[in-house]
């Protein structure tokens, strides 16, 4: 038996198609199968997913926050791999790939399709220390102490109604190899309403939805692995932050107790670079409530006074700025000098 107990219907906030995918993938997970992916393709895809790793970027000097370059990949003839395999291969989440490539087939990208891998990004506008989680873009940034790089990981976050905290500063309390899981009474009641029995206690092992490693932050939340090969870049958990196996193993081995952890919610990031160029990166914001999520309409973007000042700068192209805000590609757009 494989328990997918943290995969409750919730979905991603990136596109209506991804919302439908999130709900469909959860319904299959509860039945413990993925029939639509041929078994031979699934085996190959599993190998790709297990080898997922962070994308490492050299840290730019202070005053600069634009890093990396996008890649373009072409789906090979005879492709039998789902989009998740491509996302994992290039260190992305499903939301990142679908924002950059709207309309791509999530289950089986067509051979010959050119896809953008969104590996260029703007670093969050906060201190470069410890772990920074931007829930809006579903990425975790790790700044190694005394290092000259930043490691960026795609993540899965809490479903609508069981939110991952959005504005919180805490620290790593402890780490656990082979974590156990005790579902809350409320979670067990929700399953019971569907006629399903959820164990009161799940021991460490392959049936545990927390995977092989857990990093506990604060008293109620954890950054942990998973026992499933999907859900990264989706709103799927009970509020915790989940990573692919290789990614959580890296963090587990390198992050010490006491490390600063900051959770932020920045769907819009922007920067003026040292050369005078202005850039903006826009993601689909998370829904603010369940009704907003279920509506299927675009969630309004938050607009701050600082953002208005940035957008009103004469050096910023109005048409490019409006296009970026409408498109919400999750990739930096050059607005001018």
Q: How confident is the model at residue 41 (pLDDT cuts 50, 70, 90)?
A: very low
Active site residues: 224, 240
Q: Poorest-confidence range of 165-169, 180-184, 251-255, 260-264?
A: 180-184
Q: What does DSSP assign to residue 178?
A: S
**What domains are defined for the chain?**
16-264 (2.40.440.10), 268-336 (no CATH)
**pLDDT, average across residues 203-232:** 92
Ranges of H-type helices in the chain: 16-30, 39-50, 83-89, 94-100, 185-193, 245-254, 290-295, 305-312, 318-327
Please determine, for residue 167, whether its predicted confidence score (pLDDT) is greater than 60. Answer: yes
pLDDT digits (tens, 9 = 90+) for 170-214: 999 999 999 999 988 888 888 888 888 889 999 999 989 999 999
Q: Do the Cβ atoms of 44 and 137 come closer than 8 Å?
A: no
pLDDT of residue 246: 94
**pLDDT, average across residues 78-85:** 96
How much is the mean pLDDT over the chain? 86
Rounded to whole angstroms, how far apart are CA atoms 88 and 83? 9
pLDDT digits (tens, 9 = 90+) for 96-117: 999 999 999 999 999 999 999 9
**Can you read off the two tokens belonging to residue 257?**
């107790």
Name the pTM for this structure: 0.87
pLDDT of residue 18: 55
pLDDT of residue 287: 85
């Amino acid at each position: 038996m494989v328990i997918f107990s943290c995969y409750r219907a919730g979905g991603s906030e990136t596109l209506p198609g991804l919302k439908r995918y999130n709900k469909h993938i959860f319904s299959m997970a509860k039945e413990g199968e993925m029939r639509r992916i041929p078994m031979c393709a699934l085996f190959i895809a599993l190998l790709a997913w297990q080898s997922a790793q962070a994308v490492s970027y050299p840290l730019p000097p202070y005053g600069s926050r634009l890093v990396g370059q996008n890649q373009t990949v072409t789906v090979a003839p005879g492709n039998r791999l789902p989009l998740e395999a491509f996302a994992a291969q290039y260190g992305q989440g499903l939301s990142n790939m679908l924002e950059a490539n709207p309309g791509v087939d999530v289950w089986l990208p067509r051979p010959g399709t050119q896809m953008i891998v969104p590996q260029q990004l703007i670093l969050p506008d906060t201190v470069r220390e410890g772990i920074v989680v931007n829930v809006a873009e579903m990425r975790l940034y790790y700044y190694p102490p005394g290092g000259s790089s930043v490691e960026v990981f795609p993540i899965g976050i809490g479903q609508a109604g069981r939110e991952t905290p959005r504005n919180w500063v805490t620290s790593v309390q402890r780490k656990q190899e082979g974590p156990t899981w005790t579902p809350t009474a409320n979670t067990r009641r929700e399953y019971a309403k569907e006629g399903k029995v959820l164990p009161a206690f799940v021991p460490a092992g392959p049936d545990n939805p927390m995977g092989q490693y857990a990093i506990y932050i604060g008293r109620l939340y954890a950054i942990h692995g998973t026992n499933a090969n999907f859900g990264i870049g989706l709103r799927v958990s009970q509020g915790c932050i989940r990573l692919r196996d290789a990614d959580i193993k890296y963090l587990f081995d390198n992050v010490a107790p006491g490390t600063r952890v900051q959770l932020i919610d920045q769907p819009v990031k922007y920067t003026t670079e040292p050369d005078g160029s202005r850039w903006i990166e826009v993601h689909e914001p998370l829904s603010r409530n369940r009704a907003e999520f279920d509506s299927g309409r675009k969630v309004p973007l938050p607009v701050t006074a600082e953002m208005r000042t940035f957008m009103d700068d004469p050096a910023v192209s109005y048409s490019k700025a409006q296009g970026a805000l409408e498109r919400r590609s999750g990739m930096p757009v050059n607005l001018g000098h």
